[in-house]
Structure 1
């Protein structure tokens, strides 16, 4: 059932990509910044799964939205510190922005009467 949700599929790809690039961070930040990015991205995935399976979707979706903003901020830091290349940053930013738009649409649909 989860695979019926494009946002779930998109975010799973993002998590896999973030795991790949964060594994190449310098050792001095791998166990704090990289772990933080990984954990927050997994929190987003968990919130999406929760929204798929629960009737109270708004709480889970709002949590996912907040965590996506955290991911954006952390990725900007990574690019500024050159832990990721500009190309990697541009690629993942496009993916995260698309996921954010998908999430926003889902949140909006939950606010409509009868949903």
Structure 2
């Protein structure tokens, strides 16, 4: 008999997978933004990349609470940027918003799922 506990199969960090899936959905959309909305598209892409970078840090770090809180804050920023991109008032009366309502809904559902996962992960961390 061995005294070592059985090894668990490696389970990939689920939040990182979900952020990656959200990026696969959102990146092509931002590349379709007009030149007028280039800054907004750049900010959305930057926010998604920051979220992905933070998930890698969380996966690798020993103490994770502050990094997880940073990830939660960045998700809130991304949510507001996506709402802004779908808002008719932001784009002006003559122009359509850069993303459709359907795209906003799909993206928001993905972000909500990521938010629930982050919240559960924060609760599981030691205080």
Q: CA RMSD in A?
A: 1.7
Q: How does 1:5-16 map to 2 (within 5 A)?
A: 5-16=13-24
| 3-state DSSP of counterpart to 1:4 | coil
Runs of 4+ in 1 over 6 A off after TM superposition: none
Is the Cα contact below 8 Å between 2:58 and 2:64 reproduced in 1? Answer: yes
Which deviations, in whole Å up to 9, do the C-alpha atoms of 1:55-107 show, x marking residues without a partner? 11111111100000000000001011311001000000000000000011001
- In structure 1, what is the equivalent of residue 56 of structure 2? 49
- In structure 2, what is the equivalent of residue 40 of structure 1? 47
Q: Distance in 2 between matches of 1:62 and 1:51?
A: 10
Shift of 1:6: 1.4
Give unpaired runs (5+ residues) of structure 2. 1-9, 89-96
- In structure 1, what is the equivalent of residue 65 of structure 2? 58
| 3-state DSSP of counterpart to 1:25 | coil
- In structure 1, what is the equivalent of residue 104 of structure 2? 89
- In structure 2, what is the equivalent of residue 100 of structure 1? 115
Which of 18, 21, 33 does residue 26 from structure 2 map onto? 18
Shift of 1:3: 6.4
Is the Cα contact below 8 Å between 2:37 and 2:98 reproduced in 1? Answer: no
Is the Cα contact below 8 Å between 1:3 and 1:9 reproduced in 2? Answer: no
Is the Cα contact below 8 Å between 1:26 and 1:83 reproduced in 2? Answer: yes
TM-score of the superposition, structure 2-length normalised?
0.82
Q: Distance in 2 between matches of 1:23 and 1:91?
A: 17
TM-score of the superposition, structure 1-length normalised?
0.90
Q: Distance in 1 between matches of 2:11 and 2:66?
A: 21
Larger Rg: 2
